Amino acid sequence: MAKKQQLILVDTSVWASFFNNADLPAVRYLDRVLASEEGDLAVMPIILTEVLQGFRSDSGFRRAGSMLRRLPMLMLDVEGYVRAASMFRRLRKRGVTIRGAVDCLIAQACIEHGAWLLTLDRDFTHIAGHSSLKLVSL
C-alpha cells in the first residue's frame, strides 16, 4: 500500500473505471485519495489523452479534462524515453511481452519520479517483477 503523501500515478485503466463509476477496489482507493490527504495524485500527458478520448459526451470530456489538468504531470526527458525502450527490450529478452511502448513509458516515469502506480493493467505486474516499479497493492 502506498504511504501517506506518496506520489501516485493513476493509470488510464483506473481513470476510465472511475469515470464509468465502476465498483472496483482501485476506484474505491482513488475515491479515498481524492477525498483525503492520503497521497498526491499525478498523471502523464499520454494518460490524459487516453482517458479523454474515451468520452462520448462533451460535458464528460470537459469535466474530466478540467479535473485531470489540475494534477501534476509527470514528464520524461529524451533519455527517459531511451530508458523506456531499453526496458521494453530487456523484458522481451527475458520472455516478457509488453503489449505496447506506452506501458514502458508510464513505468519509466514512475521509476524516475519515485511514484507508485495505481493500475488495473496486468502488464505492469510483469514490469514490476523485473524492475523497480512500485505498484499500489489493494
For cell 488510464, the residue is 12
Mapping DSSP to helix (H, G, I), strand (E, B) and coil, where does residue 2 land?
Answer: coil
Contact present, 11 and 117 (Cβ < 8 Å): yes
Percent with pLDDT over 90 in the chain: 88
The closest of 125, 47, 127, 129 to 87, measured between CA atoms, is 127
Cα–Cα distances in angstroms (integers) from residue 90 to residues 83, 109, 127, in the given order = 10, 17, 10
pLDDT for 3 equals 45
- Contact 104/85 with Cβ under 8 angstroms? yes
Q: Where are the domains of the chain?
A: 6-135
pLDDT in tens, 64-92: 999 999 999 999 999 999 999 999 999 99
pTM recorded for the entire structure: 0.92
**How confident is the model over 105-129, as a mean pLDDT?**
96
C-alpha cell, 9? 500515478
d(CA 61, CA 81): 28
Over residues 33-66, the pLDDT tens digits come to: 999 866 799 999 999 999 999 999 999 999 999 9
User: Would you state the pLDDT for residue 2?
Assistant: 44
- Residue of 20, 15, 60, 59 whose CA lies nearest to 33: 15
Cell of 123: 502488464
- CA Rg value for the chain: 15
Question: Is 6-135 CATH 3.40.50.1010?
Answer: yes
pLDDT band at 99 (very low <50, low <70, confident <90, very high): confident
